[in-house]
Structure 1
Amino acid sequence: MAITKLARKKVREMTPYQSARRLGGSGDIWLNANESPFANEYNIKCDRLNRYSTCQPQELIQAYADYAGVSAEQVLTSRGADEGIELLIRAFCEPKQDSILYCPPTYGMYAISAETFDVDTKTVPLTADWQLDLPAIRDNLDSVKLVFVCSPNNPTGNLIKRRDLEALLDMTAGKALVVVDEAYIDFCPEASTVDLLSQYPNLVILRTLSKAFALAGLRCGFTLANQEIIKLLLKVIAPYPVPVPVTDIAVQALSPAGLAKTKFQVLDLSANRAYLQAGLSMLEGVTVFDGYGNYLLVKFPDAEGLFNTLWDHGIILRRSPVENCIRISVGNRDECEKTLAFIREQLNQN
């Protein structure tokens, strides 16, 4: 179609991120998007919907700052952590000049966001045990402004060693920002790098309410960084990025009652993850990798065949870029039991 020629060449050539929703599927068990199985109730006020929202609602910023253990000046809220990725690239990378660096297998939106803004990408694959290859990163830092590291990493589920993150921060000091994506950190808060913000001015942390807080549909994320970085991001963010109902619900989720409910649900999901891991580990030819988020990466003898069979029977999981692996989100106990039983049955037939 001739109209597509009006689009930028880069956009015409791009392959969009294949999110769980784009991929579709039809079934009763959805364990493909690392969503929470809990649907919590909230109250929404409707007396301010005729007015624009505040760019950075003070009540929301303070609530998350208190939860994260930082000052309000170190917090920016956005439409999910995905928008935080875009804001960082827009604020720090010159198109066709600067680069980002990321370490696959990992979250695909780092690369797609960079491509969208004509920013080059460099990849340094994780090591065999899915840790940072620091020497290779050091050799590839020319023109790099942002280094993205996901911990717990999606899709592998493992944590990146803290000493390696500190070494990376030292290595990039004065040259680039290290962006630690902590979308799943609420399942292992002791592994957060938030305490390093005071020591490393080049550290940025991405957070979200989508996972542990069971608010994937809310699209509410946060960027934690030193005040100078937050001020720069505020220059490029949209005027009204946080809808009024989003603020209302997020503040309730971050209240003492909301935090208590989230803590209980995280414990429940962690127990289900352990159940799923133990059950799958008992199956012949199956390898379950340690996971610290609300999902597990599992290696099967014939992952593609099993994935398709599960899909056809209404159990929707997620293909993985890791060979012969499937990523399984942790659902409620009933979903985990049915998924485990179906997989066991299929493998026994073979």
Structure 2
Amino acid sequence: MNFENFILPHIWNLKPYSSARDEFKGKEGVFLDANENPVGSGVSENWNRYPDPLQLAIKEQLANIKSCSTDQIFLGNGSDEAIDLIMRMTCQSGVHNIILCPPTYGMYEVSASINHIEQRKVSLTQHYQLDVEGILQTVDQNSRLLFLCSPNNPTGNKLNRSDIYTLIESFKTGFVIIDEAYIDFSDEPSFILELAKYPHVIVMQTLSKAYGLASLRLGMAFAHPTIINLLNKIKPPYNIGGATQEIVYKALGNKSFKEGAVQLILSERSRLIESLHKIPEVVQIYPSDANFILVHFKRANQLFNFLIESKLITRNRSSVALCEDSIRITVGLSSENDKLVDLISKFYSA
């Protein structure tokens, strides 16, 4: 596929920074090339050497896990870095626009605002599904990015796959970004498996949820090798630190932890939903394919504040369009979920 019309001309012509570890990739030798501290780090482990700028060891693991090739993988400092780089790579302020479908992940809008890119918003339906016709009517020749989050945050539901296919096949002016941060808690197959068929699709995932590595800030983008090459071209030279790479490498090898954590969370999600259904003041529990649920409560704002006072922290989404009087609840451990239900019952019985 010819991506020339989707990428800003200066990105094609950009000469990337060449780091010392780009020029020499070996691990043996006397290193006097990168102005590092030869003494060490002052802690039990030495982190005085710069890390692999392309994180090849991790990408080899991920290629096996995700059924793709290493040249289809970009690793960023959280998915937020990938979002920002994709916008800077494709959109010129005052010329191009992006399409958002609120309520959805807030960093799409924030990153677009930072980069001064026009945002065209087409709200989800009342059932939190895509307004396909509305989106297609909003797209014009300068629409470079269409962001779809499935399972969606903050609503928790997966988007109808047939609608996603329709948009992929109809969006001809740029890239369709499918954010799959919560895919491990869903029964949907990843669109990573569709990249060969749809080269203008970019899939984002994260290690923050199912893998339990939120503190390490490692996000993933999967795309056509040409796009990955451009992202590597414009990223900071050492965007993933050595400590993060080492820990992630170990974590990816512990397949049983991830599988066990997902099963536990899914089991607790079902149990939590069942418990909340017994509380009359719960107006609606929205379907979830994620590790959280969105719940419509009576007097949601007061309940949220009561929970905060009890040192139980949830996320009040009542100010978000289509999420009025709703609280987003991350599925916790059994004891944490029990405490939540007890506190909610106590609030409404007072």
Q: Give the match for residue 301 of structure 2.
A: 304
Cα distance per residue 1:174-209 (max 9 Å; x no partner)? x12110111111112534222211110111011110
Gaps of 5+ in 2: 1-42
Q: Give the match for residue 40 of structure 1.
A: none
Alignment of 1:192-211 (within 5 A): 192-211=190-209
Q: Which amino acid aligns with 1:119?
A: I
Q: Give the match for residue 128 of structure 1.
A: 126
Structure 1 moving runs of 4+ over 4 Å: none
Q: Give the match for residue 175 of structure 2.
A: 177
Q: Give the match for residue 166 of structure 1.
A: 165
Q: Is the contact between residue 281 and residue 348 of structure 2 (CA under 8 Å) also seen in structure 1?
A: no
Q: Is the contact between residue 178 and residue 201 of structure 2 (CA under 8 Å) also seen in structure 1?
A: yes
Q: Which amino acid aligns with 1:158?
A: N
Q: Secondary structure at the match of 1:88?
A: helix
Query: How far did residue 292 of structure 1 move?
Result: 1.0
Q: Give the match for residue 329 of structure 2.
A: 328
Cα distance per residue 1:90-145 (max 9 Å; x no partner)? 11111221111110001100010011011111100001111111111111112210
Query: Which residue of the other structure, out of 275, 299, 306, is the alignment partner of 1:279?
Result: 275
Query: Which residue of the other structure, out of 245, 259, 262, is the alignment partner of 2:258?
Result: 262
Q: Secondary structure at the match of 2:188?
A: helix
Work out the CA distance in 2 between the residues paired with 1:176 and 1:304: 40
C-alpha root-mean-square deviation of aligned residues, in Å?
A: 1.3
Work out the CA distance in 1 between the residues paired with 2:75 and 2:338: 37
Q: Which amino acid aligns with 1:305?
A: Q
Q: Secondary structure at the match of 2:165?
A: helix
Q: Give the match for residue 289 of structure 1.
A: 286
Gaps of 5+ in 1: 1-43
Query: How far did residue 56 of structure 1 move?
Result: 1.2
**Looking at both structures, which has the greater relative contact order when contacts are Cα pairs under 8 Å and sequence separation is at least 6?**
1
Q: Is the contact between residue 150 and residue 181 of structure 1 (CA under 8 Å) also seen in structure 2?
A: yes
Normalising by structure 2, report the TM-score: 0.84
Q: Give the match for residue 234 of structure 1.
A: 232
Work out the CA distance in 2 between the residues paired with 1:112 and 1:189: 30
Work out the CA distance in 2 between the residues paired with 1:65 and 1:88: 21
Percent identity over the alignment? 35
1:339 aligns with 2:340: yes
Cα distance per residue 1:140-193 (max 9 Å; x no partner)? 1122101111111000000011111111100113x1211011111111253422
Work out the CA distance in 2 between the residues paired with 1:236 and 1:118: 19
Q: Which amino acid aligns with 1:57?
A: Q
Q: Which amino acid aligns with 1:346?
A: F
Query: How far did residue 348 of structure 1 move?
Result: 2.5
Larger Rg: 2
Work out the CA distance in 2 between the residues paired with 1:324 and 1:219: 31
Q: Which amino acid aligns with 2:269?
A: R
Q: Give the match for residue 145 of structure 1.
A: 144
Work out the CA distance in 2 between the residues paired with 1:58 and 1:46: 22
